[in-house]
Structure formats: C-alpha cells, structure tokens
Amino acid sequence: MNILANDGIHPAGKAALEAAGHTLWTDFIEPQNLAAFINDNAVDGLLVRSATKVREPLIDACAELRFIIRGGVGMDNIDVAYAREAGKDVRNTPAASSQSVAELVMGHLFTISRSLHDSNRRMPVEGVEQFKALKKTYGKGRELRGMTLAIVGFGRIGQSLAQYALGCGMKVIGVDQQSATQQIEVTVGNQSVHVQVPVMTLQEALPLADAISLHIPAQANGQPVISTLEISKMRKGVILLNAARGGVVDEDALIEALDSGQISGAGIDVFVGEPKPRQDIMRHAGISLSPHIGAATGEAQERIGLEIASIVSEIGSK
C-alpha cells in the first residue's frame, strides 16, 4: 500500500512498514497541498500525530483514502465520526505513550513542589549576587510523599501515572463519571503490589486533592473542564497539571488562581492556540512549562511506530 506519514514516524516503524512492502512518504506536506498529494500518489493510508488536521474537506477530497491512523491517544485533530461514515478506517495507538506522559507529569510535579522551574530561570541571572536571598525564597518546598493526587481521566495514562505516584508514597484518587474502586499494580523491584484506588466524580475529588492531573480529551462542546467554579472548590495551594489538551483548563481562570494563591503552581504541557501559546502563560513564574512533549520520548515513539505497522498489517489483511 501507499502510505503518507505526514508528521513523521520512528525509524523502527518506517523499517517495519517498508519491510512489509509498503511505499512510505515521510516528508511533511503543507495543508493546502495535502489532498492533491494524496490523490496524485494514490495514497491508501494517512499517518498523523498532532500537527496534521484531518477535517471534513480533506476527507471529502480524498475518496480513495482507505485509512487514517493517529500516532498517539487523542484524535481531536481528526473528524473521526465523519471519516468513518465516509468509509475510512480510523485508528490510534492508545497504549504506546502512557508511560512517557506519566513520567513527564511526575517531572512537572517534582519541579513545582521544589520551585525548580523558577529557580532555574533566576539562578543564572541572580545566583552569584543573590544566592542567600534565593536560598531563602526557594527554601519552602513540599514533599510529594503523603500528598493526595487526583487523576482526572483514569484510563491507560491515568493509571500509569497512578503507579508512579503510589511508588512515591502519594495517595491517589481516580476521577471518572461514576464512583468505584480500581486495582492498580505497582512494581517494586521484582515484586508487584496491588493497591486499591478509590474512583470518584470530579466534584467529589476537587476538595480532597493536593494536586490534580488532567488526562481527558478536549470536550465536544469546546468548554473547559477546569474553570473558575471548579478552581473555587479546590484546596488552597493546590498544584494543577495538564498534559492532556489545550482548552481543558480555562487559561484566564488559571492565571487568576495562580495570582491569588488558590493554585500554588501549574505544570502545563498543552496550550490553547498551539503552536503560538499566550505570552502571559509562558512568562508566569508559577508555571512549569513544556512544549507539548508528553509522548516525545524515543521509547514511546518507537512503540508508536511499531504499533502503527501492526495496525497497517491488520488493515491490509482485510
């Protein structure tokens, strides 16, 4: 089959696809040229990550396109229902990046709890002359052990995060639409320990958490899940983490809560308006920042590439 990996693919995935006899293009095609490229080259399958948008006009223009695969979890850059109604097979790779996203969130959580994000900005500029003052400023850190982490969206990524948090001695609450209990397996050395984690609704969890991490897709109505009302129900000084999608958190409400101290710090990997996020978000001293790199580890991208090759093989066998 002819396949276009418009946002690239890990060499392991590329090698697997080419070894299976598929023709593969990996150069990025600009949106205005994408339909023509697909049609002119009789492309059977389109592979995307988050950069390429697959909307109704593109789907309508590419009648012979057989399948679309999103290398990652969220598929809000694809009009999934419309594509499937048009006869396209639409897939994603939900399991491949869970660990990498969870580790990034833990990195932000450690960073915020010890103000490393801000001290790393100020030390190169002020460290020589203001060392004692900075030591006093950043000498009020918090330990993660004993803190309660609410994980909003308790799927594969949320449960991977729970494993890390439990291993650090944190208490974990899973957040879903219905209250329940979820068993999480935590590996310690060569032993596995099973921990029962309570699962409750967002409204139940908000006042109980010292830190809240979001792992949910962008909402169909475009509204944020965390806005002024939800923030008002949180503990004062809570840490907020978003490695899900820009827009899940109301950025105006986030800035206001950081300035008031209602939120003590935020770890943000995704933004409204990517790839041009707001400057006040970028410059806020209370925010630990990363440029949408949750799944961007070599290991995760290799897993994604190989999972894509497996999906293509499955589709080709039909």
Choose, from 245, 251, 303, 307, the residue flagged as catalytic.
245
Distances (CA, A) of 243 to 1, 206, 248, 249, 256: 34, 18, 10, 11, 20
Round to whole Å and give the CA distance between 310 and 2: 16
Q: Which helix (H) or strand (E) holds 152?
A: strand 148-152
Choose, from 108, 156, 292, 303, the residue flagged as catalytic.
292
88: tokens are 């396209």
274 a catalytic residue: yes
C-beta contacts of 218-223 below 8 A and 24+ residues apart: 218/74, 218/76, 218/244, 218/245, 218/246, 218/247, 218/248, 219/247, 219/248, 222/247
Choose, from 256, 274, 278, 302, the residue flagged as catalytic.
274
Q: Which residue do the tokens 């080419």 mark?
A: 18
Query: Does residue 239 sit in helix, strand or coil?
Result: strand
Q: Is 254 exposed, middle or buried (0-12, 13-18, 19+ CB in 10 A)?
A: buried
Active-site residue set: 245, 274, 292
